[in-house]
Structure 1
Amino acid sequence: MSKDSRVRLTAGRVAAFTCPAGKSQSFLWDTDSPSLMLRATPTGRKTYAFEGRLNGATIRVAIGTVTDWTLEAARRRAGELKQMVDTGLDPREVEKDRQAASEARKREQAAQVEADRLAGVAFGVVWTEYLEERREHWGAVHYADHVKMVKAGGEPVKRGVKLTPGGERPKTIPGPLFPLLDVPLRELTPARVEAWAVEQAKTRPTYARLCWRCLKVFLNWCAEHPDYARLLSTANPAKTKKAREALGKPAVKDDALQREQLAVWFAAVRAIENPVIAAYLQTLLLTGARPGEVLTLQWEDVNTQWKGLTIRDKVEGERVIPLTPYVASLLESLPRRNEWVFSSTRALSLDPESIKRRQAKHARRGSVAPVGEVTQGSASGHLVDASASHRCACATAGLAGLTLHGLRRSFASLTEWLDIPAGVVAQIQGHKPSATAEKHYKRRPLDLLRVHHERIEAWVLEHAGVPLPTVAPSQGLRVVA
């Protein structure tokens, strides 16, 4: 049907209209609304459309399908579009502008919803996100330390404590950052942090200082975050003079063995019934390593052929130090139960039910399980904490106050008697080079370190009254079933 032979569209004609066979489409024009047409395709789809002329050109705008639009609604829409064209407006551009405005309103609404959400987001929520985002860049211990800082506390202390008069274990206290968990991030102002610092400094200034430093790093991360940066009241609310003064300066630790104390310390430590703990403590002193580095030493890290120990440290990732004769004899005397050098017997002999029975037995007696017998860390298969045994040995030797890290400090201090080069001691202990020559030029091989390290060990054992091994330890390590 030609455009000149129009018909008045009715519901019946719309329903009966089809596309003739052999055609790709067919049109039916309305006489009541000359700019309205009905289009049909071979598939049976029928749609209303507007057609008019704008600036000498024909334009066509789809209105909708006959199932979505009634005939009267389609006529009204065609009239609206004709009015636009008559006033010089292009309906297509008007529709684009309308859609753009609609999308802009949606974005603004979404932004407002997000702003409202962020306005109330708590410190604890962002802290959790921060830990997950940084986890792959941290070691397991560093991550666990951050988790501990925000713990709620209230859990029974597992070891190394006396029962209360009521026969219960004392409860753990909340982490220093726990009081801040529910504080909205935008309300974490310098004044809020300073008040927190004053309160925490009353009971645990040392731990609070560590948490404060971690809090500053966290807020630096927030300052670089696209969402959280605008919530901060200042560049870093925790970085204030008052907070630093409230927490005070850390006291200089000076616990270290003197030359004349070596004999009583070795005597007390070698008398410890647990040979793994005794060997661990002596290895700490004679290697100058960090306590955690020695705890996680594995048999694959012990190279008896080239007499080296691979230490996994927090500075370089790992370092190789000499395996000195006495330390080699200590390690060879240990049973090789699993992959860990300082293995935990309880991890091998006690299942969870056995642990519960032992705990219940000690509870009935009004005591606690001995340190090292029932520990959370024993499930790892290696020794987790020898502090209690070391404190007992030091008390026996009259050396109260000497810590495990004090043994690392002792190693560095005792080398002064031998005029050992500072760079050698730093390389053995895993300290960062402190001079340009050490950092960029000096590379000491293992054999050169061994010359100095064996000399240190011999001098320490001489003043401790401990004989050096007379026979070099064998290269084989026995396996204990």
Structure 2
Amino acid sequence: MARPPRNQALDLSEPIDLTAGVIERLACPPGKQQAFLRDSKAPGLRVRVTANGAKSFVFEAKLDRQTIRRTIGDVRAWRIDAARAEAFRLRVAMDGGDDPRVLARQREEAKAAAAMQAVKEAVTVGDAWKLYLQARKPKWGVRHYADHEKLAQEGGKAVTRGTRGTGKTKPGPLHPLLSLKLSDLTPSEIEAWAAQQGQERQTYGRLAWRCLKAFITWCSEESDYKAIVMMDAAKTRKTRDAFGKAGKKKDVLLKEQLPAWFAAVHALPSPTLAAYLQTLLLIGSRRGELLALRWTDIDERWRGITIRDKVEGERQIPLTPYVWQLLSALPRVNQYVFASPVKEKAHLSDPNGGMTDACTAAGLEGLTIHGLRRSFKSLTEWLEIPAGVVAQIMGHKPSATAEKHYTVRPLDLLRVHHERIEAWILEQAGVKFAPPRATAEAQPEPTKI
């Protein structure tokens, strides 16, 4: 039988044995957008041709009285026998009650999920740590955020002090973990890390461990990480034992030690540092809160100080007479009360050196700057000051329901107790100070009618 000429139109109403020549002769009838040529060997296999001449293999069948049509592929990419095999496979799936379109969608979804899981599992601890800091930054104070950055710092930065002679900063305790995949943050990895950090720097490592546990908890609540992070990875007994228990610090100024300490502080060459240390003892604030004190935080008229509080945001305490004498005598170099002698627009950065010198001169080795805050609380016991008053001055959270919800102490009531505390400490220290007598009490301006 002679081969029909190429320009002869095919009969699309009847199935035909598909060959390369037949497919080549296939053309879309005039006036139609597409047409289909059925294969006589594979039921359901069609060749679709569009008006612009594009041709592809298509599978077509009925499922639940609905026509199911699925594209197999371009005729230039698929061989005829491969297209027939795919049509047979789809026919078998349909005979089992499965919709090929649903199966294809499920395969694509599974493939996409596997790819997404692979991406998630490739996330490192360092990648998640950066996102963790960004997410928590609005909830944290500046100092708390900076502490977290320092825990993960790379190290190796050239500095002049605080490096024990190396001249370069040490990596943060969490830095060795940053290169690990988040999925590899296992108990065994953390235990090995804890063993090393516990030997090199137990106290700082313990802080890093607490922050690491908080970070893992955050990851376990994030949709992108909760499936790949181990919630209890940092809570094993070996990790806990590596850091040990934090000891209670008891460095405190006794009443009998006040004269020697005040005399040593007065002898410091820096008036700013001497004023800072005395004020720290007399108001019981945290070290960083007082360092960040600005001149605008002092209200001379109403005799108050606004402290940037890490617990409540800020708190107001009385500006006692001796403290005001110390502060008013300082030069106003910049916006900070305790201005840095080195940096033009900064406050004191490291008062530890002056504190150590003063304690050495007074024979009080071991007393820390935070010990002054502890001393303020302890010394008030001699005067039987209400615990709630002391807590409010120091910025501690109320510990009882009545303190939280019912007791409101205005500034003038706090001043009664605070000035009594200051006067008693100065008396025990042998510091001669006569509070200036106010010519007139601070009064609000009369209301104009």
Which TM class, normalised by the smaller chain length?
0.7 to 0.9
Does residue 291 (structure 1) correspond to residue 287 (structure 2)? The answer is yes
Return closer, same or farther for 1:433/1:473 CA change in 2, 3 Å cut-off.
Answer: farther
Alignment of 1:84-163 (within 5 A): 96-111=101-116, 113-114=118-119, 117-118=121-122, 121-159=123-161
Give the Cα separation in 1 of the matches to 2:125 and 2:105: 37
Q: Give 1:176 shift.
A: 2.7
Give the Cα separation in 1 of the matches to 2:388 and 2:350: 30
Long gaps (5+) in structure 2: 1-10, 443-449
Alignment of 1:9-158 (within 5 A): 18-19=30-31, 96-111=101-116, 113-114=118-119, 117-118=121-122, 121-158=123-160
Give the Cα separation in 2 of the matches to 1:10 and 1:232: 58
- 1:309 aligns to what SS in structure 2? strand
* Aligned pair partner of 2:350 in 344, 364, 385: 385
Give the Cα separation in 2 of the matches to 1:176 and 1:27: 68
Q: How many residues align?
A: 425
Query: Which residue of structure 1 aligns with residue 432 of structure 2?
Result: 466
1:132-173 CA-to-partner distances (Å, cap 9, x unmatched) read 3322222222222222223343444433688x6xxxx54433
Return closer, same or farther for 1:179/1:157 CA change in 2, 3 Å cut-off.
Answer: same
Give the Cα separation in 2 of the matches to 1:188 and 1:309: 46
- 2:305 aligns to what SS in structure 1? strand
Query: Which residue of structure 2 aligns with residue 434 of structure 1?
Result: 399
RMSD of equivalent CA atoms: 4.5
Does residue 312 (structure 1) correspond to residue 324 (structure 2)? The answer is no
- 1:319 aligns to what SS in structure 2? strand
Does residue 410 (structure 1) correspond to residue 390 (structure 2)? The answer is no
Query: Which residue of structure 2 aligns with residue 177 of structure 1?
Result: 174
Q: Give 1:187 shift.
A: 4.4
Q: Give 1:293 shift.
A: 0.2
Give the Cα separation in 2 of the matches to 1:88 and 1:200: 59
Give the Cα separation in 2 of the matches to 1:46 and 1:104: 28
Query: Which residue of structure 2 aligns with residue 421 of structure 1?
Result: 386
What code does the residue aligned with 1:433 have? P
Alignment of 1:296-375 (within 5 A): 296-348=292-344
Give the Cα separation in 2 of the matches to 1:210 and 1:4: 79
- TM-score of the superposed pair, with normalisation by structure 2: 0.76
Return closer, same or farther for 1:83/1:260 CA change in 2, 3 Å cut-off.
Answer: closer
Does residue 401 (structure 1) correspond to residue 366 (structure 2)? The answer is yes
What code does the residue aligned with 2:160 have? K
Give the Cα separation in 2 of the matches to 1:193 and 1:4: 70
Give the Cα separation in 2 of the matches to 1:422 and 1:122: 48
Query: Which residue of structure 1 aligns with residue 446 of structure 2?
Result: none
What code does the residue aligned with 1:193 have? I
- 1:466 aligns to what SS in structure 2? coil
Give the Cα separation in 1 of the matches to 2:213 and 2:58: 64
Give the Cα separation in 2 of the matches to 1:172 and 1:223: 32
Kindly indicate whether structure 1 or structure 2 has the higher relative contact order, using CA contacts under 8 Å at least 6 residues apart: 1
Q: Give 1:254 shift.
A: 1.6
Give the Cα separation in 1 of the matches to 2:190 and 2:148: 18
1:5-31 CA-to-partner distances (Å, cap 9, x unmatched) read 99x999999779654xxxxx6788989
Long gaps (5+) in structure 1: 20-24, 349-379, 476-481
Query: Which residue of structure 1 aligns with residue 274 of structure 2?
Result: 278
CA contact (8 A) 1:265 1:394 kept: yes
CA contact (8 A) 1:223 1:236 kept: no
- 2:313 aligns to what SS in structure 1? coil
CA contact (8 A) 2:58 2:72 kept: no
CA contact (8 A) 2:212 2:234 kept: yes
- 2:317 aligns to what SS in structure 1? strand
CA contact (8 A) 1:51 1:58 kept: no
* Aligned pair partner of 1:193 in 190, 194, 209: 190
